[in-house]
Structure 1
Amino acid sequence: MTTEKLFQVNGVELCAETFGDPADPAVLLIHGASASMLWWETAFCTKLAGQGRYVIRYDQRDTGRSTTYPVGEPPYAMSDLAADAVGLLDALGIERADVVAQSMSGGTGLIVGVDYPSRVASLTFVSTTTGADDLPPPSDDLPSFGTPDFGDPEAVEEYVVRAMEAESAGIFDEKAARALVRADMARATNFEASLTNHYAMKFDGPQGGGFGDLTMPVLVVHGDHDPYFSLPHAEAIRDAVPAGKLVVVKGAGHGIPEPLWGEFIVALAEQTGQR
């Protein structure tokens, strides 16, 4: 049984949890905007650890139990989140890890891969994009949600659940989604900051180049029904990196849902652990 632990990293506290044997190859999971470590579900982490991997999930700044800031006033940039990821590896005594970065944190993973290449054994991008201007926009079918009343927990829960449903492409377990959101709200230091501050930070990039400068093996995992980043976004990453491989998960939307974890875990097991 694993337990959460707070680590002092770069002048902030980061809450992390590990699964598996520390002697196994380390896999660092970085979820997207507003998502705490809980969004890498415990069952997923346990299954991946069962493949002989030492799995690490953590709360980035302004999520979960990690350091949070006043709403709308995050004093950090994406490069700071990347430095946090490397600092967490330091705190755990890990020299190199396979890094898995989802959605917005694809940018964080890119910075880690370009600016800290010696710390990255491989890099996996999940449901993300290069951000190029010529890529397709989000689907017109995505609903528009108004900002919830953060003084009304039921309204906030409903807002997040409906947003999860919208990005799911039809594979959606509402009971599980509500349980996740309730658990996330219950443990968050400031859930309003969790939902907003990542979008208010400075979005900078690597100092040492871009996708074409990645020197480690790169895997791109993408759903063929992603309403935010359609498949050309994934293909753009694969084509931009020197050694890129693309796995398209049929039926998946933005993120890989539990019924499709099997294919995702197989792909990660093949990608990671090659030292």
Structure 2
Amino acid sequence: MNAQEADDIIATAAELADAARVATLLHFRSPGLTADNKEADRFDPVTVADRLAEERMRAILASRRPQDGILGEEYGAQAGTSGLTWVLDPIDGTRGYLAGTPTWGVLISVRDATGPVYGLIDQPYIGERFAGGFGRAAISGPHGSGALRCRPPRPLAEAILLSTFPEVGTAAEGAAFRRVAGAARLVRYGMDCYGYALVAAGQVDLVIEAGLQAYDIQAPIAVITAAGGIVTDWQGNPCPEGGQVIAAANAQVHAQALALLNA
């Protein structure tokens, strides 16, 4: 990919994120906001804001980059001819969005045949944006702009671990997670995609989750990798399609956590 193409992808991603900010903030913390449930056996909500944000992002892509494919959480897959696919999660953390917490986010990434090459994690309410790929690893927000860098190694006994749900996956997956949680200094829940942003920002050491989809993880992979971190499945393999995921600030804490996950 040449520099002009990379610059256009970066600019397009920013335009998508700007549009999604407007769409999601139209409804965030609005009285009477309701959600439809996408699943029969559990609460998997979708709101008017999820749909509106993805619709607006798709409209921009149709105008700016009609040759690219799209995979979105709400409206599925659309084939392209360029070999690139935009992977969109208009609101990652719709449960948090409904609860009024500011830890949901907009996930935007571009992947080729090898995986994600560029990604954004955007938190519209706080006004923070985390970008990674094409030699960039940057944050912009209330404290200004700067470089992203994952934190340096420290023992697992001093580490901070995040996950969205206390009930991580199946019973066996939950037991594996608790082995790591029991060895960490601090464990916090409910962060959704914002937890991955905190890994890239050097605030926390680990995020461990299971049952993810491609649109949940491809933007975090791009951002964390650009910031010097590691994102794999629980066996240490690439995980662009989701499933079991561990995001680590560095190779040392990644290895310690993997050993306990697979004990």
Shared fold (TM-score greater than 0.5)? no
TM-score w.r.t. the length of structure 2 is: 0.29
Q: Which has the higher strand share?
A: 2
Q: Which has the higher contact order (CA 8 A, sep 6+)?
A: 1
